[in-house]
Structure 1
Amino acid sequence: MSSNQREWQALRNLLIPVQYNHLVAGITGGVTSTLVLHPLDLLKIRLSVNDGRLKSRPYYHGIKNAIKTIYKEEGIRGMYRGVTASCISAGASWGFYFYFYNSIKNWMLDGNNQITLGPWNHMLAAAQAGSITMVLTNPIMMVKTRMCLQYADHYMNIPTYRRYTGIIEAFRKVYKYEGVGGLYKGLVPSLFNVSHGALQFMIYEEMKDWYYVRTGNKKLSHWEYLGFAAVSKLIAASATYPFQLVRARLQDQHQQYSKLKEVIKKTWKGEGIRGFYKGMTAYSLHVTPNICIVFLIYEELAPSD
């Protein structure tokens, strides 16, 4: 067999055995959770960039003040700014993530479902799946961030090429004025944030394996799925949140940072260590029900391993 044939066979072995239920389940869970919880995600993004340096947007004094200000100045629609881009982003991210994660696990197992991978292989599979997913979805995630950062009209004293009426216009303007690099702003911290998914899935899989060994039952109840998903997500979120904050600030159309180092330096100098955790409370309120919805739908729709 030639080297090209071996490479093609390896690719077939990686992708073909995995059922597309994983992809569909991930998309369904991501879109459903976003429709329910988008306002909390928007609060997290706006509070993440809430450094008080610019007059081109409001400064929020915590979650309650942010909710009150957004409702007063933008109405209930303001809480759903960017929801379409957010649904596309979440659906694509979770769909690709679950698909590649299970593809890589299948390849590691080489078709033998009687063995367990162990924590490090679970982490490795999750990290590889996360890296592929981030590269594929960064442009829509960047557009989502910018759509969420469209404030009330009287705050929009920024150049017209950084104002967007919809997703298509956002893509068009970013590509026209910032090039392909503009669509991939925030990719580096996103790749660092792959550790979030890797840590989360390692903990989640290990908790399930522990449960299987202890009880001999390989079918968890809904409450057990929810509990394992919530605990694993909160631990991972607490450890890796600064990567998400830095990504949001790099993608922010109201401030232009030249590079990652500048964001870290200015955040540290102006806000200290607490600056890297702005929006963490809103994120915690969002991420727990979010991951519960995603994992519950995923475990119901995807085939059991």
Structure 2
Amino acid sequence: MSRIVPPVDGKAPNPVLSKAVIEGVSGFTAGAITTLTMHPLDVLKTRLQLNTQKPQLGTSFRILRQIVHTEGNFRALYRGLMPNFAGNSISWSLYFLWYDKIKTRVQTFRGDEKLSMSDYLLSSASAGTLTAIFTNPIWVVKTRMLSSGRNAPGAYRSMSHGLREIVRTEGVRGFWRGLIPSLFGISHGAVQFAAYEMFKNKRAADLGSPKLNNWDILISSGASKIVAGSVTYPYQVVKVRLQSYEAKTNYLGVIDVLGKIWKHEGVMGFYKGLGPNLVRVLPSTCVTFLVYENMKTSLPMAYDHLIGTSLDT
């Protein structure tokens, strides 16, 4: 978790927090804070993606009203919080950790500190693949809990109950339902991170300094999310349909989902929930990257202060 730096001027060496720990803790904290603040919009987005009717104006407000009135007041908007919290915090922790490690390997291999757009795409896609495979079981439980009220027939009571029920009724393979469209969705993360890095580098070049302020981070993260979200959103609808309770009876696979959405809902069916998704992901992305970047800066300083104080005493 830490390494020892050589002594300077005869002073005892101090342990230094490793980059892996910094990346992991920063990503975990960013995912946790984002989930706690944005969860109700995630519930709404999931319900919209599972709605197979033709898109209509005002559907979001009707669904929110129905959830509050029939599923347990405003507390129902936080159903499925635990798997969402676990999934986001663990995913961001692993993603940032693996992304930094792969990016560093690419830099070492190239022998060049300046990475290209394709280098960022490769690094983020590789990190996304590893993260998606590792965390998919959490997302299956989360999707099913967010898609129904607690008292609905067959609904999971908790994350642990959901995990047990999947093993009992679907076997271990059930944990990886929707993995294929999730892997398709890696393109979203790859585009987002590549755009984010390019926006950051451009802003740093304009300022003549690699240190960006919070406004620079907010603008860069928001712009990169808009670019990625506009291009890759349909895969999320397909993934949610395949991870729902009724997936086994309603759909034969990815191709079947695509065909049925196209036939019964039209092209706009692939963009159901895009509105609340943009409302949710823009602030959540900004919060995630803002917390992550600030944690990366403050965590080593806080650790050095803590270690320094303990050594002095």
TM-score above 0.5, yes or no:
yes
Q: Partner residue of 1:121?
A: 119
Q: Partner residue of 1:258?
A: 252
Shift of 1:258: 2.2
> SS of the counterpart of 1:220?
coil
Distance of 1:43 and 1:113 partners within structure 2:
47
The number of residue pairs the alignment matches comes to 278
In structure 1, give the amino acid aligned to 2:75.
R
Q: Is the CA contact 1:42–1:148 (under 8 Å) kept in the aligned structure 2?
A: yes
In structure 1, give the amino acid aligned to 2:128.
G
Change (3 A) 1:233 1:113: farther
Shift of 1:152: 6.0
Change (3 A) 1:275 1:112: closer
Identity of aligned residues (%): 36
Distance of 1:266 and 1:247 partners within structure 2:
14
1:184 to 2:176 alignment: yes
Give the TM-score normalised by structure 1. Answer: 0.86
**Once the two structures are superposed, what CA deviation does each residue of 1:205-246 show, in whole Å capped at 9, x if it has no partner?**
011111222221111110110110011011101111111110
> SS of the counterpart of 1:291?
helix
Which of 1 and 2 has higher RCO (CA within 8 Å, sep 6+)? 1
Distance of 1:71 and 1:60 partners within structure 2:
19
Q: Partner residue of 2:265?
A: 271
Distance of 2:53 and 2:118 partners within structure 1:
42
1:301 to 2:302 alignment: no
**Once the two structures are superposed, what CA deviation does each residue of 1:69-98 show, in whole Å capped at 9, x if it has no partner?**
111112111111101110000001111110
- Aligned with 2:77 (options 76, 79, 92): 79
Q: Is the CA contact 2:150–2:157 (under 8 Å) kept in the aligned structure 1?
A: no
Q: Partner residue of 1:95?
A: 93
Q: Which runs of 4+ in 1 moved over 6 A?
A: 111-114
Q: Is the CA contact 2:50–2:147 (under 8 Å) kept in the aligned structure 1?
A: no
Q: Is the CA contact 2:203–2:216 (under 8 Å) kept in the aligned structure 1?
A: no
Q: Partner residue of 1:150?
A: 148
Q: Partner residue of 1:10?
A: none
Distance of 2:150 and 2:206 partners within structure 1:
54
Q: Is the CA contact 1:18–1:103 (under 8 Å) kept in the aligned structure 2?
A: no
> SS of the counterpart of 1:150?
coil
- Unpaired runs of 5+ residues, structure 2, are 1-17, 299-313
What is the alpha-carbon root mean square deviation over aligned residues?
2.2
Q: Is the CA contact 1:30–1:294 (under 8 Å) kept in the aligned structure 2?
A: yes
Shift of 1:151: 2.2
